[in-house]
Each structure stands twice: as structure tokens, then as C-alpha cells.
Structure 1
Amino acid sequence: MLARGMLARLASEVPKTSTHNLSRVHLLQRRLFSNGLRAVSAGAGARVYNALLGYGKSYATAAATKPAPKAKKVVKKPAAKKPAAKKPAAKPAAKKAAPKKKPVKKVAKKKAVPKKAAKPKPKSKPRVKKTPEQLEKIKIKATKEHALSPPLLPGAVTAWNVFFSETLTGNHDRDPGTALKAASVKFKALTPAEKEHYNHLGNERTAAKRAEFEKWVRTHTPEQIRQANLARAWLRKKLTAPSARRRYVPLVDDRLLKMPASPYLRFSNERRATGDFKAIKVIEAVKLIAAEWKVLSDAEKKKYLDAYQAQRVEYEKKYLKTYGHAPGRKAAA
């Protein structure tokens, strides 16, 4: 009876037992059978057995047939955009204290002077080609500027010049021709003592005149005087009037260097100094001297050539020192 009651409670509690207690039920069943529960009817044992099997099957099928709950899809809602955090406004930099400006004195503005209207430029005249005569005049004018104009020329003042100037003093109303004739008659009638007096006055005036001329020459360089003499030589060839030829005589300057005489000129001067050609015309004397030069041997000509070469070397040294360049070359600009 005790065994039946236990089995009955076990059978009634089997459905409530969890799956992990099945092993214990089977173990209990074996023990019951081994402890004398053989008197238990076969039907009761079968019911207990079937109940245990049915519990296992019903549990398995229930677990298999019961559909698993569908997993709900979780749709994430888009997160609401958070308003952007406002950046804190930058603090304005502290202004540096501006340096104190010195008070500027106000200068009274000058009143603007109204500009004069520009005069229209005159139309340029078409260039006209100059004739050769006009070009020649322009060249002569430019050469006269290079020739220089001394205040006076260092010519000698004679006794006649002094006497004639005194005769004309205070007699401007007289005819020049008549005055000249009367002065010449009086000058011839002068005594030797009177002529000596006028010669003395002429020499004094000549010395004063030359001193004034030399003073003017010193205001120019030797190169300027040399260039002026070249211009004067060109003008004497171009201008045919006697007054122009007298006006543009060479300027005398002791600073100017004289070129050494050539060997032939040395021989000619030497022959003229002998006096063999007195009372002979110059042209005839030149022909005779040239014939004698041609007849001379090289040994006889050598002394004149050596003297010329020695003076030529000294001349080039002095020329370079005075003018700053060698003879025959243009001065540096």
C-alpha cells in the first residue's frame, strides 16, 4: 500500500517535474522495483511508466510544435538633430592705446594760382635744304669762335703812329685825307731830337700793349691757343679781304712749342746765313739751295738728320707734358 501511494504521488507529480528531474524518477523507479515492489500491479507500473513516457513525449512535442515568437524589428528612429552649440563670441582684442600725436601747426594754405592757358604751339615750318654757300657761312662763323678774339694785337707802335694820333686829337672836323697829308709833311720836318721823343713814346706803348696781350693769352690754355691758331690759318685761306688776313694773324704765345726744323730746312738756313745769296731773288735762291742738297752724299746729310732726331725727341716730351697727348693726336675729350 505504501508503494502504491508513493507511485500514485509520483505519477501525479510527474507532469509538474522539470526535464532535468527525469533521471531521478527513473532512478527511483529502479529502487522501488528492487525493494519489493514487485507486488505492485503491472497496470500501475505500466501507468507510471507510460505517464513518464508520455510526459517526455508531450514535453518534446510541445517544445517542437510551439512556434517561437517572432522578433520584432526595431526600427530606430532618426535621432533628432541637436541644435549646434553656439560658439562663444571671440572677445574683442584690447585696443592698444594710440600714441599721443604731437599737435601739428596749421599752415595757412596758399591760394591756388589759376593756371594760364597753354599757348598753342606754332606749326613747325618745313625744313629747307641749305645751299653750299649757306653751309660755308655757317662753318666760317663757327671757326671764328674757335679763333678767339683778343682785345688787341701785339703789333709795334711806331713814332709815326704816336705823332699822327697827336695830330688828329682835337681836329675831327678836318678831312681825313687832308689831315694825313699835312701830318706827313710835319713828321718829315721833325728834328732828330723830336723823332727820338716819339720813338721813345712808341716803344713804351708797344711794351704796354704786349703786356696786356700776354695777360689775355694766359687766361687760355696752350691747347686753346694752338687750336685758335689752326682756325686762324684756315680763315686766312678762306677770307680774301686784306683786313681779314691782318685780323687773323697767328697768336704769339711763348708757351707754344715749335717743331724742330727738318734736315733740309737746317741746311737751307745754314746756307742763307753765309751771305752767298745776297741780291738774289728768293725763288732763284731756293732753286740753287735745292740743287746743292741733292748733290750732298748720305754722310754729309747725316749730321743734319741726327740733329733733327735729337730735337724731335725733346719736342715730343715737352709736347706730351704741355698738351697731355703726343703730337699728331687729338686731345682727349
Structure 2
Amino acid sequence: MDPPALPETAWVVYITQQVKPGEQDLTSRMKEISASFKKLYSYEREPLEATAKANRAINEEKYKAWVETHSPERIYLANQARRRLARKTDKNVRTIRDERLPKSAGGAYNAFIKSRFASGGSTGGSLVDTVKALGQEWNALSDAEKRSYEDQVAEQTAKYAADIEDIRAKAKVLQAEAKIEAEKKAAEARAKTNAKAAEVRARAKADAESK
């Protein structure tokens, strides 16, 4: 379960301000709230936007702190479970964002794009124009120049493979420990049930013998 989040849009902030705790018949109220929200002046929306922006920053900080209360291998297992649930229910299920988990390397072109943006080598125009210009720049590179990015990707891919294997190994240990703990609890439950059953039989036998 993800941690509770504060409202992250001006609209949701406005709703929380307008709806009173325990208020009933929200269907009709939402129509009123929506109508009044649309009539707000820009200066009235500004504090709502500011609150939403501040909430997003707080939510991100809390989310990161919550994620880090769990080990990366536990997050890995939780995400696996969420993906299985998504496939089973055919619904979108959000996975947990964890920067500690290994990320697969993209292709050489992606490595080039990232390096150009990191070095401030964008055109300064729109994103579409920038990507188009960088695409032309990539096509103009020699094979030797492209090979340096391919080497970077190969190195990153090898690191990813090693890191994800380490995560999977640790996750298997957690699964084994959880299985042992579950079996232990099941055995304890069976022992208690058997003990109670034996006690009932003993009492029944004693009652029968006393008659």
C-alpha cells in the first residue's frame, strides 16, 4: 500500500476546502463545486496552485522516505506482485518507484541524447525541435564516435545484469524466510487445534467413564 498523499492539483485542493467532513449527497455538491471552480479568477486559483505545488513536493519527500523504510529486494518483490495482479485483473496497477533498483540501459542513441542534455547541448528551442536536431547530429556521427556510446551501453548493461541478479538473489532469500515463517505459524496453529481437540476428547472420555 502506498503512503497517503496530499491533494496534488488545484482542483482537488479546492474540493477538500469546499467539502465538509461527513458531508452527504456529494453528487449534487460536486456539480456546485465544479461550477464555482470554473468561475474562479486567476488570482483566486493562484493560492490553490501554490498549495498543490507544495503538496507535490511534500508527497515526493514522504514517498521517498516510505520507500526507503523497505529494502530494495522487498520493493522488487512487491512490484512483481503488483505486475502479477495487473496481468490477472487486466487493470493498470502502479508499481513502486525506487531509485535504488537497477535500471536497464537504453540504446546507444539514448545514451547520446542523455549526454547532450546533461552537457547543456540542446538547441534551446522546443522539445520537438531539440530532439529533431539531436537526431540529425547523431546521424552525422562517425561509426567510431557512435561506438563510444555503444561501449557505454555495454558497460551499463553488464552492471545492470550483475545488480539485478544480486537483487533477485536477496529476494529469493526473503521468500524462503517468509515461507519458513508461514510454515512455522501453520504448524503452531495445527498444534493448538490438535491440543484443543485432544482436550475435548479427554473430557468426553472422562465424562463417559464417570457415568
TM over 0.5: yes
In the other structure, the counterpart of 1:157 is 8
Q: 1:234 to 1:301 in 2, by over 3 A?
A: farther
- 1:190 match: secondary structure: coil
Matching residue within 221, 224, 227 for 2:71: 221
- Letter of the aligned partner of 1:163 in structure 2? Y
In the other structure, the counterpart of 1:133 is none
Q: Is the 8 A contact 2:7 2:13 kept in 1?
A: no
Matching residue within 256, 259, 275 for 2:104: 259
Name the CA distance, whole Å, in 1 between partners of 2:7 and 2:100: 21
| 1:169 equivalent in alignment to 2:20 | yes
Q: 1:155 to 1:264 in 2, by over 3 A?
A: farther
Name the CA distance, whole Å, in 1 between partners of 2:13 and 2:73: 36
Name the CA distance, whole Å, in 2 between partners of 1:170 and 1:188: 23
Name the CA distance, whole Å, in 2 between partners of 1:222 and 1:155: 25
User: TM-score scaled to structure 2, two decimals?
Assistant: 0.57
Task: State how 1:182-221 maps to structure 2 within 5 Å.
Answer: 182-221=32-71
| 1:302 equivalent in alignment to 2:153 | no
Q: Is the 8 A contact 2:67 2:98 kept in 1?
A: yes
Matching residue within 156, 159, 164 for 1:311: 156
Task: State how 1:15-54 maps to structure 2 within 5 Å.
Answer: none
Aligned length: 157
Task: State how 1:113-192 maps to structure 2 within 5 Å.
Answer: 149-152=1-4, 157-169=8-20, 172-176=23-27, 178-192=28-42
Name the CA distance, whole Å, in 1 between partners of 2:52 and 2:78: 29
Larger radius of gyration: 1
- 2:99 match: secondary structure: coil
Higher relative contact order (CA 8 A, sep 6+): 2
- Letter of the aligned partner of 1:197 in structure 2? P
Q: Unaligned regions of 5+ residues in structure 1, if any?
A: 1-148, 278-288
Q: Unaligned regions of 5+ residues in structure 2, if any?
A: 117-127, 174-211
Q: 1:300 to 1:156 in 2, by over 3 A?
A: farther
Q: 1:267 to 1:204 in 2, by over 3 A?
A: closer
Q: Is the 8 A contact 2:15 2:33 kept in 1?
A: yes
- Letter of the aligned partner of 2:50 in structure 1? H
- Letter of the aligned partner of 1:185 in structure 2? A
Name the CA distance, whole Å, in 2 between partners of 1:220 and 1:254: 13
